[in-house]
């Protein structure tokens, strides 16, 4: 046996190998073990124990870090090392989240841990790496930070005022991005309109509240120079590129593994500083480091969204034709734009989507995106859609009321005709084919408004106030590089799938899209089974591993079926053709006379079995010597798919809400909700229906319950599930779902997306229903969430704050 070696002789510093090094027993020959500070070898030892990251977070919305003393924390039991921003800046480069096609956009560099200032309450400032979470939390309490509080920028209305301090001096002001879409002639159209109505809408800032918090485990293998990250993310390949770039590694030396993710809703498709810190610390230490956010950390560090104030006007003629919209959107995004998708996309989507379902000529919409000392905001389920839909549909209902028209009738007069496609909207969105009128007709048949109106009138006479609200919407799905790629972001709009048949006739499909509970793997299995010709139970799906799956964008913007599913179908069809080609050579038959059905090579005309796929696999994999010389000797196909003809595959739909408002307490009771949506070809009806229902519930959450409440100093007041309300099953109404199918012609599958349709329209439908219920009192609400206090204030029964 060789002489014992010291840690230094193995290329390790003693700081990397504390007394807590010995972990759970994992037998391995010639593994290293510490004995009295020296490294020896043994046949049954403990491997390096997984470490845990705990973060010290800022208690201030804005403060300068005068000094940090970590001496006591570093000496605490179980602590391996304490990292500050200066420590991590040596190994992790900062990032700036802008997109080139968003002209004039700017943001400041963001580090894994800040160097000089904390810019929102909850920003991670110091990281403790310890053998247990408990030890890390104990040590975190020993970190001494000398804070110098600074004025907090909490009000978006004053962010651009000359008196307001500039958050990042190098940017010159607090403006991140502004864009105006203007068709021209807007002022003239409004001046000559028979009616102009206007309102100011507020969308309450809220967050995703995923069942599974953000989590990451990073491990750097020094021998191989390989960083492996187990990550709860929606986009493994995107994160592979981010980790490589920021940690100065070749992309091929980074592997990201994403298993089943417990809900994302867009929350887990972004780069978080604390997660980058975990990867950086794992690289420094050469040991696995794990971080799982607790619920408090989630509230202050998960991205927020929908912090908007929108002033809107609509002009109509005497016959109820919409002449134009004039919209001004102001939104706050926190102290940084979030990398790499940026925080300007939500405001940009408001510009793209307002007025979307309607045929009108004149349009002007401006979004102004400003900085704040609050948790950063970014893309969250149905990015911009609920805001644009609430503004549009709220104004349409106001116009109907002014004209004395039924809201359904006003929509019929103005929705884009179902035979008008292709159609380009005033802000420049191109629609391949939508079905607004067919969807509205189907919804009306489901709702039976005449019966509800009669019931409404009878109940009002008894002092019970019910309301019926409608909302038409469009939904952006299957995004092309027009979304991010043209702006320079390494976010893939294409996706790939590899399908192979193994010797036993079973099929394995490896896809770049990921599973977050929405059923992606189930529909991929269906598509592959159909494309190849095997029972669905003979298909295994592999997702979420950058080492083995084809490169792809992951799952976001409802692209799983439309992009990932199309790649899977093309690969499966190609494999089917390959199987038939080889079988034809073996059976000495013409390929066009054969087919694959239920795991058998069959005669196309009669359906009779000619050969099981397992037998075909046996011959190709084990008896290749018996095959004709020109016959293929592998059963694997890979295809990639990207949309080309249209920047997005738009879907559409319409929703209705029937509810009751208690005018004494301000409480809203949801009675029934209806949705008709058109997501193209439906692959799995049950999954689509439940995606729509889940989206509706999330939209209702924003409309009635959810809000991240801050005080004037930028302190978040809703940091627990007791303060931040989410929809409960007992509060939700029955949700009836109907469909119209208009397949996209850009793909063989014809599928679009469905995951955000419910969220897009639900808040507007609820808002219009509440205002319909309160119509006898002349009260109206346009600020979400529609809380009892706000309802009673609108009724004049509570003084406004």
For residue 785, whether the previous peptide bond is cis, meaning omega lies within 30 degrees of 0, is: yes
**Measured CA angle at 450 (ends 447, 453), to 5 deg:** 100
Question: Tokens representing 713?
Answer: 């100093």
Whether CATH 3.90.1170.50 fits 43-150+213-261+267-301: yes
Cα separation, 417 vs 435, in Å, equals 8
Which pLDDT score, from 0 to 100, does residue 243 have? 98
Instruction: Give the N- to C-terminal CA distance of the chain in Å, as an integer.
Output: 80
What whole-number distance in Å separates Cα of residue 553 and Cα of residue 538? 26
Does domain 385-478+650-794 correspond to CATH entry 3.30.70.270?
no
pTM assigned to the model: 0.93
How far from 516 is each of 107, 358, 755, 765, CA to CA, in Å?
A: 30, 34, 12, 27
**Do 227 and 218 meet the contact criterion of CB atoms below 8 Å apart?**
yes
Task: Please tell me the distance from the alpha carbon of residue 344 to that of residue 305, in angstroms, as a whole number.
Answer: 11
Angle ∠(787,790,794) on CA atoms, nearest 5: 140
Question: Which among 204, 207, 232 is positioned nearest to 218, based on CA atoms?
Answer: 232
Sign of CA dihedral 344, 346, 350, 356: positive
Model confidence pLDDT, tens digit, residues 583-613: 999 999 999 999 999 999 999 999 999 999 9
Question: What pLDDT shows up at residue 727?
Answer: 97
Backbone φ, ψ for residue 317 (5° rounding): -90, 180
How far is residue 134's CA from residue 138's CA, in Å, rounded to a whole number? 6
518-541 burial, b if ≥16 CB within 10 A, otherwise e? bbbbbbbbbbbbbbbbbeeebbeb
Q: Determine contact, residues 472/415, Cβ cutoff 8 Å.
A: yes
Q: Which residues of the chain have pLDDT under 70?
A: 1-48
Task: Return d(Cα 544, Cα 540) in angstroms, integer.
Answer: 14
Torsion of CA 757, 760, 765, 766, to 10 degrees: 110
- Look at residue 452 and give its three-state secondary structure: helix
Q: Which of 144, 130, 152 is nearest to 82 (CA)?
A: 130
Could you tell me which of 324, 274, 332, 314 has the C-alpha nearest to residue 298? 274
- Residue 787 in tokens: 């809380």
How many angstroms from the chain centroid is the CA of residue 377? 12
Q: In 3-state terms, what secondary structure has residue 476?
A: strand
pLDDT at 48: 61
How far, rounded to the nearest angstrom, does the alpha carbon of residue 1 sit from its chain's CA centroid? 56
β-strands 668-678, 734-739: how paired? parallel
Cα radius of gyration (the chain): 29
Per-residue DSSP letter, 247: T
* Both structure tokens of 163: 């008196």
H-helix or E-strand spanning residue 656: strand 649-661
CATH class held by domain 31-39+494-641: alpha beta
The domain spans of the chain are 31-39+494-641, 43-150+213-261+267-301, 385-478+650-794
User: How far apart are the C-alpha atoms of 359 and 757, rounded to whole Å?
Assistant: 21
Report pLDDT for 633. Answer: 83
Model pLDDT, residue 800: 79
Distance, CA of 394 to CA of 400 (rounded, Å): 10
Topology alike, domains 31-39+494-641 and 43-150+213-261+267-301? no
| Cα angle value 218/221/224 (rounded, 5°) | 140
Q: Who's near 425: CB < 8 A, 6+ residues apart?
A: 355, 356, 431
Q: How many CB atoms lie within 10 A of CB 778?
A: 9
Instruction: Annotate 709-748 with DSSP letters as a single string.
Output: -B-TTS-B---STTTS----GGGPPEEEEEE-----TTSS
Contact between residue 435 and residue 742 where contact means Cβ atoms under 8 Å apart: yes
């Amino acid at each position: 046996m060789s002489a014992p070696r010291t840690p230094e002789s193995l290329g390790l510093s003693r700081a990397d190998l504390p007394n807590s090094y010995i972990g759970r027993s994992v037998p391995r020959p010639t593994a290293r073990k510490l004995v009295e500070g020296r490294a020896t070898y043994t046949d049954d030892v403990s491997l390096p124990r997984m470490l845990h990251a705990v973060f010290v977070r800022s208690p201030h919305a804005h403060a300068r870090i005068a000094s940090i003393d970590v001496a006591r924390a570093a000496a605490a039991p179980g602590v391996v090392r304490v990292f500050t921003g200066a420590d991590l800046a040596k190994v992790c480069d900062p990032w700036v989240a802008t997109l080139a096609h968003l002209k004039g956009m700017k943001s400041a560099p963001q580090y894994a841990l800040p160097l000089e200032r904390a810019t929102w309450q909850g920003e991670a400032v110091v990281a403790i790496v310890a053998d247990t979470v408990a030890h890390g939390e104990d040590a975190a309490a020993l970190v001494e930070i000398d804070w110098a509080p600074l004025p907090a920028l909490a009000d978006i209305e004053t962010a651009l005022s000359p008196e307001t301090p500039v958050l990042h001096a190098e940017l010159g002001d607090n403006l991140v991005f502004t864009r105006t879409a203007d068709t021209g002639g807007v002022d003239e159209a409004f001046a000559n309109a028979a009616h102009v109505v206007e309102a100011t809408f507020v969308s309450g800032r809220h967050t995703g509240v995923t069942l599974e918090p953000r989590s990451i485990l990073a491990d750097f293998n020094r021998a191989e120079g390989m960083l492996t990250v187990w990550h709860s993310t929606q986009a493994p390949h995107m994160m592979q590129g981010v980790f490589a770039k920021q940690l100065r590694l070749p992309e091929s030396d980074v592997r990201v593994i994403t298993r089943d993710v417990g809900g994302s809703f867009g929350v887990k498709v972004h780069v978080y500083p604390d997660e980058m810190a975990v990867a950086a610390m794992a690289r420094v230490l050469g040991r696995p480091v794990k971080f799982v956010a607790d619920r408090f950390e989630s509230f202050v560090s998960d991205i927020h969204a929908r912090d908007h104030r929108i002033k809107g006007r609509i002009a109509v003629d005497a016959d109820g034709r919409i002449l134009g919209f004039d919209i001004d959107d102001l939104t706050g995004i926190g102290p940084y734009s979030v990398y790499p998708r940026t925080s300007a996309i939500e405001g940009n989507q408001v510009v793209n989507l307002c007025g979307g379902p309607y045929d009108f000529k004149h349009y002007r919409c401006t979004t102004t995106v400003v900085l704040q000392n609050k948790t950063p905001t970014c893309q969250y389920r149905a990015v911009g859609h609920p805001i644009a839909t609430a503004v549009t549909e709220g104004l349409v209902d106001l116009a109907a009321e002014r004209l004395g028209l039924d809201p359904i009738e006003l929509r019929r007069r103005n929705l884009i005709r179902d035979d008008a496609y292709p159609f380009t909207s005033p802000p420049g969105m191109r629609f391949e084919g939508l079905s607004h009128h067919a969807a509205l007709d189907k919804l009306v048949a489901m709702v039976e408004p005449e019966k509800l109106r009669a019931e409404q009138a009878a109940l009002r006479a008894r002092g019970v106030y019910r309301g019926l609200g409608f909302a038409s919407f469009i939904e952006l799905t299957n995004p092309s590089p027009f979304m991010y790629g043209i702006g320079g972001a390494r976010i893939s709009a294409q996706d790939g799938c590899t399908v192979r048949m193994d010797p036993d006739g079973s099929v394995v499909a490896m896809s770049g899209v990921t599973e977050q509970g929405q059923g992606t793997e189930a529909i991929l299995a269906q598509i592959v089974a159909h494309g190849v010709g095997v029972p669905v139970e003979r298909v295994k799906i592999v997702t979420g591993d950058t080492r083995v799956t084809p490169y792809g964008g992951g799952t976001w913007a409802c692209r799983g079926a439309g992009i990932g599913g199309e790649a899977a179908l093309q690969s499966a069809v190609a494999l089917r053709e390959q199987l038939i080609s080889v079988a034809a050579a073996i059976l000495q038959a013409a390929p066009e006379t054969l087919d694959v059905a239920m795991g058998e090579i069959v005669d196309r005309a009669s359906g009779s079995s000619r050969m099981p796929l397992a037998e075909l696999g046996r011959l190709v994999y084990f008896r290749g010597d018996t095959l004709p010389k020109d016959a293929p000797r592998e059963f694997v196909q890979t295809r990639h798919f990207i949309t080309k003809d249209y920047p997005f595959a738009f879907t559409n739909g319409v929703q209705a809400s029937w509810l009751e408002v208690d005018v004494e307490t301000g409480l809203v009771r949801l009675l029934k909700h209806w949705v008709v949506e058109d997501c193209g070809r439906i692959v799995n009806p049950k999954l689509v229906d439940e995606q729509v229902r889940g989206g509706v519930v999330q939209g209702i959450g924003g409309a009635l319950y959810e809000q991240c409440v801050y005080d004037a100093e930028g302190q978040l007041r809703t940091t627990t599930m007791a303060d931040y309300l989410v929809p409960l099953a007992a509060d939700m109404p029955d949700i009836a779902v109907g469909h119209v199918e208009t397949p996209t012609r850009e793909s063989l599958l014809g599928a679009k997306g469905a995951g955000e349709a419910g969220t897009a329209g639900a808040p507007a439908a609820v808002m219009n229903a509440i205002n319909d219920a309160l119509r006898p009192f002349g009260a109206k609400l346009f600020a979400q969430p529609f809380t009892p206090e706000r309802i009673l204030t609108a009724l004049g029964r509570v003084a406004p704050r």
